[in-house]
Amino acid sequence: MSRQTSRLDAKKVNSELLTLTYGALVSQMLKEIENTDDVNKQLERIGYNMGVRLIEDFLARTSSSRCLEMRETADKIQHAFRLYLNMQPTVTSWSSSGDEFSLVWDQCPLSEWVEMPSNGLKYCALIPGAIRGALQMVQLDVQCWFVQDQLKGDAITELRVKYIKRLEDAVPAGED
Amino acid sequence: MTIHNMYIFDRYGTLLYYGEWNRTKQSGMSLEEEGKLMYGMLFSIKSFVTKISPLDPKDGFMHYKTSKYTLHCLETPSGLKFVLNTDNQAQGVRDLLKKIYAEIYVKYAIRNPLCGIGEQINSELFKTKLDAFIKQTPNYAVRAS
Q: Give the CATH number of the domain where residue B116 resides.
A: 3.30.450.70
In a domain, A100, yes or no: yes
Supply the range of the domain harboring residue A53.
Answer: 15-166
Task: Give the residue, A64 or B104, on which the prediction is more confident.
Answer: B104
Contacts for A145 with CB less than 8 Å, ≥ 6 apart: A128, A159, A160
How high is the pLDDT of residue A134?
92
Cβ–Cβ of B98/A137 closer than 8 Å? no
- ipTM of the complex as predicted: 0.81
pLDDT tens string A155-171: 888 999 999 888 876 55
In a domain, A172, yes or no: no
In a domain, A5, yes or no: no
Chain B residue numbers touching A169 (CB-CB < 8 A): 11, 79
In a domain, A42, yes or no: yes
In a domain, A83, yes or no: yes
- Mean local confidence (pLDDT), A36-54: 90
Cβ–Cβ of A138/B78 closer than 8 Å? yes
**Domains: count for chain A:** 1
Q: Which class for B127: exposed (0-12), middle (13-18), buried (19 or more C-beta within 10 A)? A: middle
Which amino acid, one-letter code, is at A12? K
Cβ–Cβ of B79/A4 closer than 8 Å? no
In a domain, B117, yes or no: yes
**Domains: count for chain B:** 1
In a domain, A159, yes or no: yes
Query: Rounded CA gap, B61 and B10, in Å?
Result: 17
> How many angstroms away from the CA of A138 is the closest CA of chain B?
5
- Do residues B81 and B73 touch, judged by C-beta distance below 8 A? yes
pLDDT tens string B105-136: 988 888 888 888 888 888 888 899 899 888 88
Task: Give the residue, B55 or A175, on which the prediction is more confident.
Answer: B55
Query: Rounded CA gap, A18 and B131, in Å?
Result: 34
In a domain, A97, yes or no: yes
Candidates A60, A170, A173; nearest CB to B36: A173
In a domain, B144, yes or no: no
pLDDT tens string A112-170: 777 777 778 888 889 999 999 999 988 889 999 988 888 888 888 899 999 988 887 65
User: To which H or E segment does residue A25 belong?
Assistant: helix A15-32
> How many angstroms away from the CA of B60 is the closest CA of chain A?
12
In a domain, A9, yes or no: no
- Contact residues of A toward B, CB < 8 A: 1, 4-5, 8, 52-53, 55-57, 59-61, 63-67, 137-139, 169-173, 175
Query: Rounded CA gap, B62 and B37, in Å?
Result: 18
* Domain of residue A132, CATH code: 3.30.1380.20
pLDDT for residue B81 is more than 70: yes
Task: Please name the residue of chain B whose CA is at the shortest distance from the CA of residue A136.
Answer: B78
Query: Rounded CA gap, A15 and B62, in Å?
Result: 40
The helix/strand/coil state of A74 is helix
The DSSP secondary structure of A120-156, one letter per residue, reads ---TTTHHHHHHHHHHHHTTEEEEEEEEE-GGGT-SS
- What's the residue count for chain A? 176
In a domain, B143, yes or no: no
Supply the range of the domain harboring residue B19.
Answer: 3-136
